[in-house]
């Protein structure tokens, strides 16, 4: 093991940190070269003892799994997964503390620095690139594309800490229970501002004023039950005439809008004005709540006289208990992690786990995540149905994956990348509307439409973004390699030692990159073209250090290629 570490740490490194974690069936030892102190960064080596029984079939299987369940594989994770197995991996992910954004912003403020949305973006990059709680981070990002708030809304634009706190709410709840998360989201002041139930008060019929319907509508349409009644497998449930059945009516929205009254900032001295607290859940003022009787979803009576909290609890229970929630949420999470077009049977298997995780609990997101990632369709869909399985990678996630794989660091310790939406068409909590960057049922005209498939991520893959994203990958590669003369303290410097060592062996270089960047899925024609390209590139091409041009070209060509853009 000493030898193995020697390969991973820079020559002469002596300071090591050690972190140990004892699991039920064994243990885990993590070691790092980044200094004597464990600062929570990625380990350079980890060892699980008490070998797992459910091992990945291959390194490629482990890599594919990590593309689906994390922001991208790194060497130690593939090796650790291969030794400890999936169960141990999930168990460890379930116990890692959440990497949060707001503490970073608070630290900046404490140091007298200004905090804007730029700093929130830095904190996001920090969490997703370096957080060890990768399953939680990937789930939180997926949830941020379902339970959407956005700093593009004017009122949230100048609330970076409030928006970071919202993301932290998703991060804390990502592996918990969906009912709890729904409540936390509903009471979040960021959501209260974004969908305007904050300071929403009971109607004033004499003056033709009604409660605000915004949150009531989107809570049902986008966060819980959707527009039409679903079977457990996600297909529409039909009435006797073969028609789809709407889940709710305008009257249901108006009834629910009355529930969503009486909430304002925590600690506010006045219901309608006062200094906002963006960092604590909203609080209710009964005198601004409509406490009349309400009927939720056409059949569930909320009696008169309930407090705002009781009304909200009861309404959320009704929505959470609706049979649509399992298939509705399962489909969306499968699409974010694994495949745009899951089979109905896959949706049903995951939705069943949502309904009951095996212990009788409904809405257990940790078990839902496990069900999504361990499903046979996730593990073997690339072999069983290669023409329909998979998804277009989100360009933002690909960028994170590049930095994770090549262990990129800036001298400042900060990832200073503020406006990824200009390059990738997306950035954390920066969607143009509550409908996210893309719709779950988006169909781009062309081959996808002809095949009868959906492909949500193509909604942001415009002629412009397909080029600007490639240009951004290029910039982040060709101006960040070891020895690049134009770098500065903000440059995310890539570590390419493993790749440079393979530069004189093109087939091995491409095989290595195929494993890490494509989960081993590269077709023979592409492999041959890349090997040909590397062979034709001299070791000293581009006036770069030996082998660098070869390595950079190979990475760039993979991440911009049609096959590399597809996650299978």
Partner 1 sequence: MNHQYGPKGRDVSRRDFLRMATRGAAMGASIGALGSASLLRAASSASGSYKALVVMYLAGGNDSFNMVVPTNAGPYADYEESRQNLAIPQGDLLPIVPATFDGNSYGMHPSLTGMKSLFDRGKLAITANVGNLVRPVTKSQYAAGSVPLPPRLFSHNDQQSQSMKVAADRNNAIGWGGAIADQLVSMNGGSTLSPSITVAGSTPLLTGVTTQAYHLGTSGSVALSGLGGNTGAALSGTLDILRAQAQSNPLAQQFAATRGEAIELDSLISSALDGAAPLTTIFPEGSNTAAQLSMVARMIAVQGSLGLERQVFFVRKGGFDTHSDQLAAQPVLYGDVSASIAAFYQAMEELGCENNVTLAVVSEFGRTLSSNGQGTDHGWGGHFVTVGGAVAGGDIYGAMPSFVLRGDDDSGSGRMIPTTGTDQFSATLARWFGVPDGQLSTVFPNLGNFGTTHLGFMG
Q: Hey, which residues between 324 and 383 contact partner 1 (CB under 8 A)?
A: 340
Among the listed ranges 36-44, 499-507, 510-518, 550-558, the one in contact with partner 1 (CB under 8 A) is 550-558
Among the listed ranges 299-307, 372-380, 401-409, 431-439, the one in contact with partner 1 (CB under 8 A) is 431-439
Site string for partner 1, 225-264 (x = CB under 8 A): --x------------------x---x--xx----------
Taking the complex as a whole, how short is the minimal distance between the CB of residue 134 and partner 1, in angstroms? 24
Q: Which is nearer to partner 1, 204 or 376 (CB)?
A: 204
Query: If binding is defined by CB under 8 A, does position 211 make contact with partner 1?
Result: yes
Run of H or E including 392:
strand 391-392
| Among 116, 271, 435, 484, interactor with partner 1 by CB under 8 A | 435
Q: What are phi and psi of 7, to 5 degrees?
A: -70, -25
Site string for partner 1, 136-155 (x = CB under 8 A): ------------------xx
Rounded (to 5) percent helix, strand, coil in the chain:
50, 10, 40
Beta pairing partners, 263: 284
- CA separation for the pair 557, 481 (Å, rounded): 16
- CA separation for the pair 348, 371 (Å, rounded): 11
Among residues 90, 191, 201, 79, which one has the least CA distance to residue 135? 90
Query: If binding is defined by CB under 8 A, does position 463 make contact with partner 1?
Result: yes
Q: Which is nearer to partner 1, 111 or 387 (CB)?
A: 387
**Tokens found for residue 96:** 């890692």
Query: Cβ(46)–Cβ(30) under 8 Å?
Result: yes
**Tokens found for residue 188:** 């979040």
From residue 518, how far is each of 126, 156, 395, 527 by CA, in Å? 23, 37, 14, 11
- CA separation for the pair 500, 520 (Å, rounded): 20
List CB contacts of 467: < 8 A, sequence separation 6 or more.
Answer: none
Q: Which is nearer to partner 1, 266 or 566 (CB)?
A: 566
Taking the complex as a whole, how short is the minimal distance between the CB of residue 468 and partner 1, in angstroms? 6
| Among 270, 307, 475, 540, interactor with partner 1 by CB under 8 A | 475
| Among 462, 504, 508, 540, interactor with partner 1 by CB under 8 A | 462
HEC sequence for 494-544: CCCHHHHHCCCCHHHHHHHHHHHHHCCCCCHHHHHHHHHHHHHCCCCHHHC
Q: Which is nearer to partner 1, 127 or 261 (CB)?
A: 261
| Among 59, 61, 213, 252, interactor with partner 1 by CB under 8 A | 213
The DSSP call for residue 262 is S
| Among 537, 547, 555, 559, interactor with partner 1 by CB under 8 A | 537
List CB contacts of 188: < 8 A, sequence separation 6 or more.
Answer: 149, 165, 166, 169, 281, 282
Query: If binding is defined by CB under 8 A, does position 468 make contact with partner 1?
Result: yes
Among residues 30, 9, 5, which one has the least CA distance to residue 19? 30
Query: If binding is defined by CB under 8 A, does position 426 make contact with partner 1?
Result: no
Query: If binding is defined by CB under 8 A, does position 49 make contact with partner 1?
Result: no
Among the listed ranges 18-26, 84-92, 200-208, 230-238, the one in contact with partner 1 (CB under 8 A) is 200-208
Q: Which is nearer to partner 1, 266 or 541 (CB)?
A: 541
- CA separation for the pair 310, 532 (Å, rounded): 67
Q: Hey, which residues between 506 and 525 contact partner 1 (CB under 8 A)?
A: 523, 525
Query: If binding is defined by CB under 8 A, does position 530 make contact with partner 1?
Result: yes
| Among 19, 237, 416, 474, interactor with partner 1 by CB under 8 A | 474
Q: Which is nearer to partner 1, 97 or 542 (CB)?
A: 542
Query: If binding is defined by CB under 8 A, does position 566 make contact with partner 1?
Result: yes
Beta pairing partners, 47: 29
Taking the complex as a whole, how short is the minimal distance between the CB of residue 56 and partner 1, in angstroms? 23
Query: If binding is defined by CB under 8 A, does position 7 make contact with partner 1?
Result: no
């Amino acid at each position: 093991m000493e030898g193995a570490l020697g390969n991973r740490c820079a020559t002469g490194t002596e300071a090591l940190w050690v972190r140990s974690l004892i699991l039920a069936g064994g243990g885990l030892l993590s070691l790092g070269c980044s200094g004597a102190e464990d600062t929570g960064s990625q380990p350079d080596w980890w060892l699980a003892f008490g070998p797992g029984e459910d091992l990945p079939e291959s390194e490629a299987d482990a890599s594919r799994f990590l593309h689906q369940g994390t922001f991208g594989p790194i060497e130690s994770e593939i090796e650790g997964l291969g030794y400890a197995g999936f169960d141990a991996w999930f168990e460890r992910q379930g116990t890692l503390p959440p990497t949060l954004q707001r503490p970073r912003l608070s630290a900046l403020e404490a140091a007298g620095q200004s905090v804007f949305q730029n700093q929130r973006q830095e904190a996001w990059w920090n969490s997703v690139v370096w957080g060890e709680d990768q399953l939680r981070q990937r789930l939180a990002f997926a949830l941020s594309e379902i339970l959407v708030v956005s700093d593009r809304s004017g009122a949230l634009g100048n609330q970076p800490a409030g928006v970071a706190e919202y993301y932290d709410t998703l991060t804390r709840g990502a592996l918990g229970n969906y009912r709890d998360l729904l409540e936390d989201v509903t009471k979040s002041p960021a959501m209260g501002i974004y969908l305007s139930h904050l300071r929403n008060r009971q109607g004033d019929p004499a003056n033709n004023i009604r409660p605000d319907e915004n949150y009531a509508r989107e809570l049902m349409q986008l966060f819980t039950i959707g527009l039409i009644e679903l079977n457990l497998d996600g297909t529409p449930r039909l009435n006797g005439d073969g028609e789809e059945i709407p889940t709710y009516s305008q009257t249901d929205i108006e009834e629910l809008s009355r529930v969503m009254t009486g909430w304002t900032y925590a600690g506010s001295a006045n219901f309608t004005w006062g200094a906002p607290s963006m960092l604590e859940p909203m609080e209710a003022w009964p005198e601004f709540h409509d406490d009349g009787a309400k009927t939720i979803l056409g059949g569930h009576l909320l009696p008169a006289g309930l407090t705002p909290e009781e009304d909200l609890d009861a309404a959320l229970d009704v929505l959470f208990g609706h049979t649509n929630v399992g298939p509705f949420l399962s489909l969306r999470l499968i699409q974010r992690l694994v495949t745009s077009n899951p089979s109905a049977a896959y949706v049903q298997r995951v939705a069943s786990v949502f309904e009951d995780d095996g212990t009788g609990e409904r809405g257990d997101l940790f078990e839902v995540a496990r069900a999504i990632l361990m499903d046979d369709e996730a593990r073997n869909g690339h072999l069983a149905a290669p023409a329909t399985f998979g998804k277009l990678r989100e360009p933002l996630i690909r960028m994170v994956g590049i930095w994770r794989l090549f262990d990129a660091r800036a001298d400042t310790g900060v990832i200073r990348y503020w406006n990824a939406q200009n390059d990738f068409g997306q950035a954390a909590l920066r969607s143009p509307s509550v409908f996210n960057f893309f719709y779950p049922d988006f169909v781009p005209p062309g081959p996808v439409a002809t095949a009868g498939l959906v492909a949500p991520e193509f909604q942001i893959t415009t002629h412009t973004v397909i080029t600007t994203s490639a240009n951004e990958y290029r910039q982040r590669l060709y101006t960040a390699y070891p020895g690049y003369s134009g770098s500065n303290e903000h440059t995310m410097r890539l570590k390419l030692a493993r790749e440079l060592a393979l530069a004189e062996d093109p087939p091995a270089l491409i095989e290595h990159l195929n494993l890490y960047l494509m989960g081993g899925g590269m077709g023979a024609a592409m492999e041959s073209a890349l090997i040909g390209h590397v062979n034709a590139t001299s070791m000293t091409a581009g006036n770069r250090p030996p082998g660098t041009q070869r390595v950079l070209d190979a990475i760039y060509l993979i991440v911009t290629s049609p096959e590399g853009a597809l996650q299978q």
